[in-house]
Amino acid sequence: MQSEDSGAANRISLFGGFRIENETAGPLRLTGKRGPAIIAYLARCPGMAATRERLADLLWGDSDAEHSRNSLRQALSVLRQDLAREGVDLIHSSGELIALRPELVQVDVEKFETGLSARSAQELAKALANYTGPFLDGLYLGSNTFDDWITSERDRLLGRAIESFEKLARLVDPDAGLILADRILTMEPTREESYRLKMELLLACGQRDRAIRTYEACRSMLKKEFGVEAGPETRALWQSLLLAADDASNVQSTNGVPSSQRLGRPSISVADFVNLTGKQGDDFFAKGLVQDITTALSGVADYVVLAALPPEKSGPGEEAKTPGILRARYML
């Protein structure tokens, strides 16, 4: 007979290490590593169910079939005892299937992945709040099959988190975006796209010197880790930063024509799209279009692609001004 507590919601956390908490009993303590491993794997399976054979091979792949099945029976017995001690009935079996009770659990990874389709900054931030660290951080069994599964899921979820944090950084204001950019670089210090994002956000905040230093840090990292130079889009952004930082007398000729044009290479810039819907989520879509077009143009050696800069702030009653040194010959 189930206790009254068995119907309570159970929160399973797989990010930042394994944790399971019952809303009535609080954190649940499980014996050893096999119990958490079984719950974690079932929580990620379709229907939260798997066959006995699959679980035995996953957790005891180095043993023969008989020994692995016996080990699974023992691990399930210990797991059920641990849960029953707290009045929680979470595991059920039907023939060859072992399953969690989906109606009784909430899994942070599921909430994370479901919420990544959000278009508003607030909804996306809520989904990303579930990502509190690497998937099943610190859980290591010494079983090649299980440990390989953890590594694969950890890398996949990290990639999704980074892409979504970058998306959020472009939806919020530049100062908040910079905080997110630094977090992304902490999560994955060797991602060139994240350095470029930080450069763009620093530029939007008027911190061109820091943006240039960020490029140098990116270039140094790529050389050290991979033995390669920065990609064309990153170099194009860096070039526009240098043009912005140069003194106007050194950059322009007497008739006001930029040096890039005097050298015979026409400069081109992509104007921002106007969001006519008024929806904040569409701002990111519009910025993405500009970035995609800029990326494509950066691969054409006949052009110098200038990144668009934010208008300089003016005094009350004055119009914002864009630095003249960044005027491109052609504007799309």
Exposed, middle or buried by CB within 10 Å (0-12, 13-18, 19+), for 191? middle
For residues 75-103, average pLDDT: 93
Distance CA 174, CA 103 (A): 41
User: What would the 3-class secondary structure string for 218-279 be?
Assistant: HHHHHHHHHCCCCCHHHHHHHHHHHHHHCCHHHHECCCCCEHHHHCCCCEEECCCCCCCCCC
Task: Identify the weakest region by mean pLDDT among 62-71, 168-177, 278-287.
Answer: 278-287
Distance CA 217, CA 282 (A): 32
| pLDDT, the chain, mean | 83
With a cut of 70, say whether residue 267 has pLDDT above it.
no
Per-residue CA distances from 8 to 18, 23, 103 (Å): 19, 6, 10
With a cut of 70, say whether residue 64 has pLDDT above it.
yes
For residues 146-160, average pLDDT: 96
Q: What is the pLDDT of residues 11-40, one digit of tens each?
A: 999 999 999 999 988 999 999 999 999 999
Distance CA 199, CA 210 (A): 8
Secondary structure letter of residue 30 according to DSSP: -
In the chain, where the domains are located: 4-115, 250-332
With a cut of 70, say whether residue 90 has pLDDT above it.
yes
Residue with tokens 């099943």: 136
With a cut of 60, say whether residue 151 has pLDDT above it.
yes
Q: Give residue 135's Cα distance to chain centre.
A: 13
Contacts with 183 (C-beta within 8 Å, 6 or more apart), sequence order:
165
Q: Where is pLDDT greater, at 65 or 45? A: 45
Q: What is the pLDDT of residues 322-331, one digit of tens each?
A: 443 445 666 7
Q: What is the pLDDT of residues 104-138, one digit of tens each?
A: 999 999 999 999 998 899 999 999 999 999 999 99
Task: Identify the weakest region by mean pLDDT among 48-62, 63-77, 143-157, 256-270.
Answer: 256-270
pLDDT band of 316, cuts 50, 70, 90:
low
User: What would the 3-class secondary structure string for 147-196 be?
Assistant: HHHHHHHHHHHHHHHHHHHHHHHHHCCHHHHHHHHHHHHHHCCCCHHHHH
pLDDT band of 277, cuts 50, 70, 90:
confident
pLDDT band of 146, cuts 50, 70, 90:
very high
With a cut of 60, say whether residue 141 has pLDDT above it.
yes
Specify the pTM. 0.71
Task: Identify the weakest region by mean pLDDT among 217-231, 247-261, 270-284, 316-330.
Answer: 247-261
Q: Residue 332 is which amino acid? A: L
pLDDT band of 268, cuts 50, 70, 90:
confident
Secondary structure letter of residue 310 according to DSSP: P
With a cut of 70, say whether residue 241 has pLDDT above it.
yes
With a cut of 90, say whether residue 266 has pLDDT above it.
no
**What is the domain class of 4-115 according to CATH?**
mainly alpha
